[in-house]
Structure formats: structure tokens, C-alpha cells
Chain A
Amino acid sequence: MLPPTPARSAQQLFRRLLALPPPLRQRTFSILNRPPPNYSGHVPLTITERAGLAVGSAFGSLSNPYRHDLIAALGEATSKPYFITRLRHAMLKDPTGRRILSDKPRISSQTMKLEDLRKMPENSVGRAYAAWLDREGVTPDTRDQVRYIDDPEEAYVMQRYRETHDFTHAITGLPVIIEGELAIKAFEFANTVLPMTALSLFAIVRLKSEERKRFFEVYAPWAVANGLKAEEVVNVYWEEELETDVDVLRTRLGISKPPDLREIRKVLREERRAEREARRAREDLGAAGGV
């Protein structure tokens, strides 16, 4: 063995650095010479761009929570390096997850026909999904395409998570109002550990104090407890579970249904209205009596 000269040890170090897996190597492209896209719609971003996108979309979606394209971009910008890989591995560990990854089904208004879903048996997942869509007045519309995740399979995992979000709404019954969305995000954080779900909880500052109190007392504990003990919701092959009974699916996954948020709000609204009318009636009576 030749004695290690400085040139040889530098060469060995260089070789060992190059042998590191790609995520740990320094990114080799710049804004002006991006590599070709890995899938249709893919936009490779440099680290600075991704950081800018993360920060910008975080503040943008906080100031305007209806910009769900920014929430989507936030999810994609913050999912690497570790979190989306972990989610993909969670899918690979499960036999159904592996089937989903090999079939790569997509959910849209074409693949989920509402007329067929409404005809499904009572209390089935498909029926509950259609009923929830009708109640909230939304459609399984085409969600934003994933653009900023480099690996095509991880991009599919993120797309699948996005498209099955409405199913999570349907089996928990939580509505699309901000309170309901935050409860779902808390549940998803405990379940999928995607950073975007945790970051969107900053929107708690936009809730009214009564809603915030309700969130911390009721829905956050429910979300954390259920998210942690439940199976990975991303591993559910929803297209095959449409005729399953919702309660059976919930038991299988280990999720309990949270209190119906719309009902609670409706009851409180009516109590407040009754109180207001009673007060007004008393005042009128007082005025009429000449007090």
C-alpha cells in the first residue's frame, strides 16, 4: 500500500463525497440551466427557490386561506427532504399501499361519478362521500397538479394525499369551514406528518375566540388521539371501499367520529337568536309600559 499522499487522500475524499446519495449532495443545477422535467408539469426548483416558495406560500395562504393553490405549493415545498419519503415508505410497507402505488388511480369528477355514488347503499362510504359533497356544495374537482416534487412516485403520493382529503372529510363529517379544515389538518398531521398540515394550523389565529376554545377543547384532542392511533389513511384504496359501510371502515382504521361541527354551530346560533329575541321582547315590553 502506498503511503497516503495529500493528492490521493483528496481524491479519495472526493470519490466518497460523490458516492453519497443524491439528496445529500449539493444540488448541481442553477436557475438558468434547469434539468429536464421528470414528469409532465414538473418544475425543478433550486434550494433558494424552494425556500422562497415555502415562505411566500406560508404567508400568502395565512393572509388568504382561500388560496388553496398556495397551500398546495406549501405542501410540496416543505415535503422534502424527509416527510414525503416517509409517507411513500409507509405506503410501500402496506400491501394496499403498494397496490395503490402500482395502479396510481386518480380521483376527479370523471372517475367519481356523483350520480352513481348517490345510488350506493345507505351508510356506505360512497354514499357518505356524495352526501358530504352535496351538503358542503363542492365537487371532486380536479385538484392542483403536483409540480415541485422531483421524484415522480413521491409526486404521485402527494397528489393522492390531496385528492383523498375529501374522503377524510366525508368519513369524519367535518365541514369545509375553516374550523372544520383545521380539525382535519390537525388529524392529518398526526396521521401523515406532512409539515404543511402542521403549518396550516397557524390559521388558528383567524378563528373567533369561541371557535378557538372549541378547537382546543374538542377537536384538537380528537385529532391527535385519532390521528396517532389510526392506520395510515393514505393507504386506503378508496375506489374499492366505496360500498363498505362507513362505521365498519372507521372501526377498521381506528377513527372515531368527532362531534358534528355544523350541528353544534347551528344549535349555538339558534340559542343566541332566541336569547336576542327574548331580550328585545323584554325591552319592547318595558318601553310600552312607559318605564
Chain B
Amino acid sequence: MASAVPRAAKRLRLTNTPGYVCTDCRRAFAASTQPRLQQQPPPQPPPSQHVGQTAKTTHFGFETVAEELKASKVRTVFSSVASSYDTMNDLMSLGIHRLWKDHFVRSLNPGIRPTPPPPRPPPPPPQSQRILDIAGGTGDIAFRLLDHATTTNRDPHTSVLISDINPQMLAEGRKRCLSTPYHATNRVSFLEANAEDLSAIESSSIDLYTVAFGIRNFTHKATALREAYRVLKPGGVFACLEFTPNLANPVLNALYKRWSFGAIPLIGQLVAGDRESYQYLVESIEKFPSQREFAAMVRETGFLVPGDAEGGGWEDLSMGIAAVHKGVKPV
């Protein structure tokens, strides 16, 4: 029946949920038995229908939505960009995101460099660092962390738990894991969870908690920070890499804003056929707190953050387009 299974391959179907993604060419093939819809914007119930007078709202980009809807809307955005996530990042940051991620991982220096055992007492048991990478579905940061630990610090025991709210991003991560040397080891594991509720992870069990370009999508950042505090061991490190809402230089900031709101959704439309997701992404950057405010939030959660209220608690990258925030759980 033509209406149940639209067959014509000549009509493009930009699927939201690719049934299978070829990792070599990143082309998505949708399952032939799935009825496929034309490219449609993610379903957006108008707030007035679903939000009562007393219901709490939050921002989804510049839209105001009920709090309980934000997580599913974020999930929808990332389902539609999962297979072209790298393209999206390359377009939004002109490829510089790779440099940022490399710098982020290098400055964290994961892995315990082996020391020669003491001559008479028996050598201590091998220590292993446990890293939790939040919102790290495709594994960008996780594999970099493992590579650094294994290659630079010669530590074969470090393990990473990749957690993401979106199953398509995790599936993409699993596929990419297959082409790394870690797929046959037990050093990579995956967990589908909301960063605000990591009850599947026991308290004080993580050495390093990283979140790269994920925290601006969380509904309640403070809750996610508290969960980070809970799961980290005393002495554990919290590290966050995220876009900032404003650059330091006002002239560059004016240009940057026009690039973000004009060119990026347009490029998203031309390359990925999805203007709405890219529009959401630039709006979510705009809504993120400034470096000073976010460093204060990290400090309030209980982490030890270098510097003070004036500055020094974060590191700006590329003139302030992105920033790295770090904190240590007190011992």
C-alpha cells in the first residue's frame, strides 16, 4: 500500500531516526519497513496547552516550555543530528572544536603513569582511574581520554563510562567504539541516563567527571552539578567544556552573534536540511550563563574552584568562544 510504505527512493527522506548508519561513509539507511515521514520540525506543543498556571517552565532556546518537556525536546534535537553530529560541530566551530577537545583532554591528563615498583615491599596493586563522560554519546571525549591515558601515560587500566540521554547518540558511540582498540576490552561502557539522575552510578566512585558541550542542554544545571558532586570520589575532578554566551571583545562579539544566528541555521538548512535544530543550538548557547556565573554555580555546589569571584576559575578558549571550567571535590 503506497500510503503505508512510501517507496520512491527518488523522493528524499531525511529521516530523524536512521535505522542503520554506515560508519565508513556515514550515510544513513532507514529500515525499509519503517514508515518514514518527510522532514518535519520536532513536535512542539504550544506551551499554553500543556502548561498550567502554576507549572514550572524553562527555556528551550528562546522558546519557553514546560520543564518536563525540555528533556524530550533536547532528545529529539539530538536524534535528528546524531548521524551528522560531526558535520554540525565542524560547521558551528569551523573545525576548531577538535582543537578544543584535544586541549581539554590534554589539560586533564587522565591515566596514572606507572612508576617502577619499590625494591623490597611487594608492588602495589595496579590502580585504575574511572572516568565518567556525560552527554558524551558519540564518544569524542571518551576515546580521546582513553587514547591519552594509554599512549601518553602508558596506563592500560583507565576506563570510561559514556553516558547520554539520547539512545541514537549512544548507538553512534558504540559504532565508533568498534573501530577503536578498546572495543574488545572492558574499558568502555555505555549508560543511557539523564545527567540529573545518575542513580545507576554509586556515590564516590568516579575519579574524573567530564561533560563537553552537553551542560547547556540540561534542564537543571544545578541538579546535574550536585549529581556530579555525589558520584565523584573525594579529590575527584569535575571538568566542563562549553560554549560561552558572549566573547570578551565587543566588536568580535557582534560579528560572532551575527554569524551564530544568521549563518549557522542557514548552513544547517543547506547541509543537513534541519534549520530548527541548529536554531535551537545557537539559542541554547545564548541562554547559557556567563563564565563568571557558571564558575560561581560550580563553587556553590561544593567544588574547589581556583581563583575567586573576580576571575581565574575558568579558562577561555579561542577568545572566549568556549571555556573550560574545572573543580575538585574536597577531600
Contacts and interface: CB of A to CB of B under 8 A. Distances in A.
A69 B266 contact: no
A73 interface: yes
B2 A139 contact: yes
Nearest to A69: B273
A66 B275 CA distance: 18
Nearest to B254: A32
Interface string B1-31: 0110011101110100000000000000000
A272 interface: no
Interface stretch (B152-160, B219-227, B255-263): B255-263
A57 B6 CA distance: 25
B257 A134 contact: no
A111 to B, nearest CB: 12
B275 A43 contact: yes
A56 interface: yes
Contacts of A137: 2, 6-8
Contacts of A32: 257-258, 261
The CB with the most chain A CB atoms within 10 A, among B7, B8, B37, B40, is that of B8
Contacts of A60: 270-271
A93 to B, nearest CB: 33
Contact of A138 (B11, B14, B271, B275): B11
A266 B135 CA distance: 53
A143 interface: yes
B39 interface: yes
Interface in A3-29: none
Given A56-B266, A109-B3, A139-B2, A176 B8 contact: yes
B312 to A, nearest CB: 31
Contact of B38 (A66, A114, A144): A144
Contacts of A176: 8, 10-11
Contact of A69 (B2, B7, B12, B263): B12
Interface stretch (A47-55, A207-215, A280-288): A47-55
A70 interface: yes
A141 interface: yes
B10 A69 contact: no
Contacts of A67: 12, 273
Given A53-B269, A67-B12, A144 B7 contact: no
A141 B271 CA distance: 23
B258 A31 contact: yes
B10 A177 contact: yes
Nearest to A59: B270
A139 B270 contact: no
Given A56-B270, A69-B273, A138 B8 contact: yes
Interface in B208-252: none
B3 A114 contact: yes
Given A141-B38, A144-B38, A134 B262 contact: no
A114 B262 contact: no
Contacts of B10: 66, 138, 176-177
Nearest to A175: B10
Interface in A122-159: 133-134, 136-139, 141-144, 147
Interface residues of A, number: 34
Nearest to B10: A176
A68 interface: yes
A109 B37 CA distance: 12
A139 B6 contact: yes
A46 interface: yes
Contact of B2 (A56, A66, A138): A138
A52 B263 contact: yes
Nearest to A68: B12
A32 B273 CA distance: 22
B34 to A, nearest CB: 15
B268 to A, nearest CB: 11
A48 B11 CA distance: 30
Nearest to A138: B8
Contacts of A73: 269
A141 B6 contact: yes
Contacts of A48: 262
Contacts of A142: 37-38, 40
A125 B213 CA distance: 54
A110 to B, nearest CB: 10
A45 B39 CA distance: 21
A60 B268 CA distance: 12
A49 B266 contact: yes
A143 B38 contact: yes
A69 B266 CA distance: 13
Nearest to B1: A114
Contact of A31 (B11, B41, B262, B275): B262
13 contacts: A49-B266, A57-B270, A66-B10, A69-B14, A69-B269, A73-B269, A133-B2, A138-B2, A138-B6, A138-B11, A139-B2, A141-B38, A147-B275
Interface of B: 2-3, 6-8, 10-12, 14, 37-41, 257-258, 261-263, 266-267, 269-271, 273, 275
Given A32-B261, A114-B3, A141-B11, 14 more contacts: A30-B258, A32-B257, A49-B266, A52-B263, A68-B12, A69-B269, A73-B269, A137-B6, A137-B8, A138-B7, A138-B10, A139-B6, A142-B37, A143-B38
